[in-house]
């Protein structure tokens, strides 16, 4: 999935900080698939809940072993890997860079507890960290720590904290909780958020501290509701047992839906769920942030601050030292040293509404001032993503075997080139070749047609030369007038598209020099456009245009068949006179692609093109409809292309969500039985229409539309858009020796 971005979010907290980042990435990279991995059960559950509508896929992260990481990289083929927050994954980093991916650490932080371990092993982490393109850290303290353990100063950037860009859930508070709150009508709501167990001997248990404080406060505040939120799911039952042992009236969040009656105030709502805390801060009068009384390093206090709620913290905020220091100095929170002070701190806020308002407003302003981390992260990701050129290798056990076959392919190519060049011929008519260095899938046929149309508009009489790949007739040379009606079996599917355009006559044959002479004798063209001719040594060309697929440059891994998809070594690019990077996206930087071209060819100009959808054509009636008119229909799609991603990419650009996609081999000839099977599967899915490409239309069996009935069948009519088209055409014309005849102008 070329251009994909893999976001590796380790824990629940990192997953919860990811939605804003994914929304921003979706806007910045509308065509790039986004994948999210996480390492914990709770993180996966939250990712499925919060990120399903934003991500193309959510999965468990591979263990940090090379074979596992390589398998994921080969499967999703990311152009960029984004690692969120604290963990340093050596093999993930190494293998991502080995695959040519851009690599960014976002929300980077090294805690007090982790620093000594990283520092002892800085000899190990230094080369790993210097493989990362950007390290966006939360604070200056973390920036110094990353540099201290070996990261290059130039790669470490102060990026802020994604959690500062917290946005309340649009879903709000769950209906069951709202019903509970409306029923019990609390006079005050205290949230004890993310409470944790002791970390070291002598540490307090925050569940015990909260329960003790509540028992004391309940005597003076009969309308008090405590929403108790243990940090980890494994603590839910433990907290319930402690509440029951203390004789406190409580109800679990999981029991609300089936409850016929609720406990009377004062009582406790034990939030034994994941992902609902953030929305509940809006209901709180006071918030105690857990993880701050024991040596746990604290948790993020910015979420309640965004709601303007006063926050109580303990002495341990080592994970957020700058935030804690700023909030304390600005009088934007209440800090306590011991658990015994918790009840008094809560009561002080409950009894003073003005103080609650002042503290909450100060906290909100401080939180708002720190926003912007998401935008900075997206900017940095965009920069390194544009410079990436992923390379994906086959699994190691097959590598050496494929390498040997690739070597044989290379030797065979040298021999073939030497033999054919010795007998190469030149036609009296100029020849412009449109070819590629890789097998299939670079968009040659649409570009050949576009070029011929532009030349005809300029007064030339173009003709097509092609080998007619996979045609089913024995004749050596097939010469056809523009728009001639013949079977695709005689021409091949791609040649049929060129023929039906009516732009010019066509010569089809393996020996394109001999075929071209026959076309010259019959039609006297001004210029030949040679389709897929970069490796055709028997015919001399006046101009070699080489197409580079923007979705999978250089066959994805820059290696020869069968190890990769290259027909020739990369050094062959030195022969090209012009490069056109196809299937590009407007505004995207293809710096890495161009840099690789310049390594082999310093002079050939580089242009950029893309396919533009014109309309959908009803296969039965020929009626044309707008390209986005099927965006809200229940449709399926099928294609047999060398690079099917190009068609799925086009559907995504048209906002078309398919119920199912069927992928077939390139140049697939669809037999009646296969068409019936396709129709049956589509009908079982409730699909109303099937979408395909013009090339696939040429390969459908006769009467296919009747076999698909009552399903509608549409094929996509496309055009090509070239940046700097006038400059490109001027260059082509300058290489055509003969000027157009006056009678044709």
Task: For residue 27, say if its preceding peptide bond is cis, omega within 30 degrees of 0.
Answer: no
Task: For residue 710, say if its preceding peptide bond is cis, omega within 30 degrees of 0.
Answer: yes
Rounded distance between C-alpha atoms, residue 275 and residue 280, angstroms:
10
- Using an 8 Å Cβ cutoff, are 218 and 249 in contact? no
- Using an 8 Å Cβ cutoff, are 678 and 690 in contact? yes
Helix 140-148 vs helix 321-329: angle between axes, to the nearest 10 degrees? 150
Helix 444-457 vs helix 493-501: angle between axes, to the nearest 10 degrees? 20
Q: Considering only CA atoms, which of 282, 283, 299 is closest in space to residue 291?
A: 299
Q: Considering only CA atoms, which of 561, 546, 608, 604 is closest in space to residue 582?
A: 608
118, β-bridge pairs: none
Q: Which long-range contacts (CB under 8 A, 24 or more apart) does 234-239 make?
A: 235/195, 235/196, 235/197, 235/207, 236/270, 236/272, 238/197, 238/207, 239/195, 239/207, 239/270
Quick one: three-class SS letters along 91-123?
Answer: HHHHHHHHCCCEEEEEEECCCCCCHHHHHHCHH
- Using an 8 Å Cβ cutoff, are 224 and 249 in contact? no
Q: Enter the tokens of residue 277.
A: 């805390």
- Using an 8 Å Cβ cutoff, are 449 and 464 in contact? no
Q: Considering only CA atoms, which of 47, 68, 50 is closest in space to residue 58?
A: 47
Rounded distance between C-alpha atoms, residue 148 and residue 164, angstroms:
26
- Using an 8 Å Cβ cutoff, are 421 and 67 in contact? no
Q: Enter the tokens of residue 236.
A: 């839910």
Among 14, 95, 347, 585, the one annotated catalytic: 14
Helix 342-350 vs helix 353-369: angle between axes, to the nearest 10 degrees? 100
Helix 236-245 vs helix 206-218: angle between axes, to the nearest 10 degrees? 40
Q: Is 623 a catalytic residue?
A: no
CA 741 to chain centre: 51
Helix ranges (DSSP H) in 423-507: 444-457, 488-491, 493-501
Rounded distance between C-alpha atoms, residue 315 and residue 297, angstroms:
9
Q: What is the DSSP letter of 742?
A: G
Task: For residue 362, say if its preceding peptide bond is cis, omega within 30 degrees of 0.
Answer: no
- Using an 8 Å Cβ cutoff, are 527 and 429 in contact? yes
Rounded distance between C-alpha atoms, residue 168 and residue 166, angstroms:
7
Question: Which helix or strand (DSSP H or E) is residue 419 part of?
Answer: helix 396-422
Annotated catalytic sites, by residue?
14
């Amino acid at each position: 999935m070329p251009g994909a971005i893999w976001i590796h979010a380790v824990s629940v907290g990192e997953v919860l900080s990811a939605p804003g980042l994914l929304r921003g990435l979706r806007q910045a990279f509308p065509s790039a698939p986004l994948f999210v991995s996480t390492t914990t059960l709770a993180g996966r559950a939250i990712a499925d809940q919060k990120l399903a509508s934003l991500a193309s896929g959510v999965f468990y992260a591979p263990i940090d072993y090379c074979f596992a990481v390589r398998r994921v990289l080969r499967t999703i083929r990311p152009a960029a890997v984004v690692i969120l927050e604290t963990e340093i994954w050596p093999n993930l980093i190494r293998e991502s860079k080995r695959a040519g991916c851009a690599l960014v650490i976002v929300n980077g932080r090294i805690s007090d507890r982790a620093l000594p371990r990283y520092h002892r092993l800085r000899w190990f982490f230094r080369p790993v960290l210097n493989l990362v393109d950007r390290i966006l850290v939360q604070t200056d303290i973390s920036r110094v720590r990353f540099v201290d353990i070996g990261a290059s100063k130039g790669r470490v950037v102060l990026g802020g904290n994604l959690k500062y860009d917290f946005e309340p859930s649009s879903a709000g508070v769950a209906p069951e909780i709202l019903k509970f709150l409306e029923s019990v009508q609390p006079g005050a709501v205290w949230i004890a958020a993310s409470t944790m167990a002791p970390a070291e001997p002598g540490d307090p248990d925050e569940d015990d501290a909260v329960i003790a404080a509540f028992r004391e406060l309940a005597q003076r505040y009969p309308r008090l509701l405590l929403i108790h939120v243990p940090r980890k799911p494994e603590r839910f039952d433990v907290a319930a047992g402690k509440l029951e042992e203390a004789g406190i009236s409580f109800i679990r969040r999981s029991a609300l839906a089936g409850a016929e009656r609720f406990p009377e105030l004062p009582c406790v709502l034990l939030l034994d769920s994941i992902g609902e805390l953030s929305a509940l801060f809006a209901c709180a009068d006071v918030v105690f942030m857990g993880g701050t009384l024991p040596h746990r390093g604290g948790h993020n206090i910015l979420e309640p601050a965004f709601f303007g709620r006063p926050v109580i913290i303990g002495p341990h905020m080592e994970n957020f030292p700058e935030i804690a220091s700023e909030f304390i100095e600005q009088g934007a929170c209440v800090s306590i040293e011991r658990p015994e002070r918790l009840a008094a701190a809560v009561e002080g806020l409950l009894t003073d509404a003005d103080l609650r308002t002042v503290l909450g407003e100060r906290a909100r302003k401080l939180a708002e001032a720190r926003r912007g981390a998401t935008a900075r992260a997206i900017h940095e990701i965009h920069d390194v993503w544009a410079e990436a050129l992923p390379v994906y290798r086959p699994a190691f056990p097959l590598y050496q075997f494929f390498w040997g076959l690739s070597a044989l392919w290379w030797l065979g190519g040298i021999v073939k080139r030497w033999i054919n060049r010795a007998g190469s011929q030149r036609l009296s008519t100029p020849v412009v070749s449109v070819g590629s260095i890789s097998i299939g899938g670079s968009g040659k046929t649409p570009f050949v047609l576009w070029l011929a149309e532009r030349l005809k508009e300029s007064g030339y009489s173009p003709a097509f030369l092609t080998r007619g790949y996979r045609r089913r007739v024995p004749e050596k040379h097939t010469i056809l007038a523009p728009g001639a009606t013949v079977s695709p079996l005689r021409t091949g599917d791609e040649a049929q598209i060129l023929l039906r355009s009516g732009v010019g006559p066509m010569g089809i044959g393996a020996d394109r020099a001999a075929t071209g002479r026959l076309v010259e004798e019959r039609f006297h063209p001004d210029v030949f456009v040679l389709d897929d001719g970069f490796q055709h040594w028997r015919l001399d060309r006046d101009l070699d245009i080489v197409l580079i697929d923007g979705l999978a440059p250089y066959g994805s891994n820059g290696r020869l068949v069968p190890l990769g998809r290259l027909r020739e070594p990369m050094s062959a690019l030195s022969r090209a006179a012009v490069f056109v990077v196809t299937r590009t996206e407007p505004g995207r930087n293809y710096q890495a692609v161009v840099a690789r071209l310049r390594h082999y060819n310093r002079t050939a100009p580089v242009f950029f093109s893309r396919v533009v959808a014109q309309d959908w054509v009803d296969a039965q009636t020929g009626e044309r409809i707008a390209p986005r008119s099927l965006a809200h229909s229940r449709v399926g799609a099928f294609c047999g292309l060398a690079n099917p991603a190009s068609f799925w990419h086009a559907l995504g650009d048209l906002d078309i969500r398919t119920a199912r996609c069927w992928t077939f081999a390139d140049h697939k000839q669809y037999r009646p039985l296969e068409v019936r099977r396709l129709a049956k599967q589509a009908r079982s899915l409730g699909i109303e229409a099937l979408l395909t490409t013009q090339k696939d239309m040429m390969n459908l069996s006769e009467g296919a539309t009747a076999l698909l009935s009552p399903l509608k069948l549409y094929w996509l009519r496309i055009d090509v858009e070239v940046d700097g088209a006038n400059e490109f055409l001027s260059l082509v014309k300058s290489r055509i020796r003969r000027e157009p005849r006056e009678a044709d102008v």
